[in-house]
């Protein structure tokens, strides 16, 4: 990748993007906390619900989505399990695979929080200026 000089406008755009992103993440931290879960627990539920083509996810898939280590996600899933939001099940086709499923409570929680996150994103629509719009030669 070439080293390019950034203009003042480029720095302003990047700064504004990071500011709006941080505002959204702070919103997420607060709304999840208000509902008794951490933002990482919410993201775990979201990624289980959002797994393409099926209703469960593996620990490895969740680790990739969360950009986290496998052992950290195992602990995170255990905490979600203690809250009654997920359960683990041995894979039917491959017994070595551990499937993470949402419970009924987990489905309710993720639906509620995802709706709130969607509404917040809709409020931000048009505010985000994508760094791809930087003034590049």
For 9-130, CATH number? 1.10.10.10
Q: Determine whether 54 is exposed, middle or buried from the number of CB atoms within 10 Å of its CB (0-12, 13-18, 19+).
A: exposed
Q: What is the DSSP string of 30-91?
A: HHHHHTTS-HHHHHHHHHHHT-TTSSEEEHHHHHHHHT--HHHHHHHHHHHHHTTSEEEEE-
104 pairs with which residues across the strands? none
Domain boundaries, the chain: 9-130
Using CA atoms, how far residue 28 sits from 4, 19, 60, 70, in Å, is 34, 14, 24, 23
Over pLDDT 90: what percentage of the chain? 71
More confident residue, 32 or 3: 32
Which pLDDT value is given to residue 72?
A: 97
Q: pLDDT tens digit string along 44-88?
A: 999 999 999 999 999 999 999 999 999 999 999 999 999 999 999
Q: Name the strand (E) or helix (H) holding 107.
A: helix 104-124
The predicted model scores a pTM of 0.85
pLDDT(135) > 70:
no
Over pLDDT 70: what percentage of the chain? 89
């Amino acid at each position: 990748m070439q080293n390019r000089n950034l203009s003042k406008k480029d720095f302003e755009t990047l700064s504004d993007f990071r500011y709006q992103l941080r505002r959204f993440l702070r919103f997420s931290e607060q709304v999840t906390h208000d509902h008794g879960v951490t933002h990482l627990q919410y993201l775990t539920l979201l990624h289980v619900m959002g797994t393409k083509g099926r209703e469960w996810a593996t620990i490895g898939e969740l680790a990739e989505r969360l950009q986290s280590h496998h052992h950290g996600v195992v602990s995170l899933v255990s905490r979600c399990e203690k809250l009654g939001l997920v359960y683990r099940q041995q894979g039917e086709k491959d017994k070595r695979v551990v499937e993470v499923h949402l419970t009924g409570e987990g489905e309710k929680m993720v639906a509620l929080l995802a709706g709130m996150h969607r509404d917040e994103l809709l409020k931000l629509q048009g505010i985000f200026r994508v760094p791809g719009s930087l003034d590049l030669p």
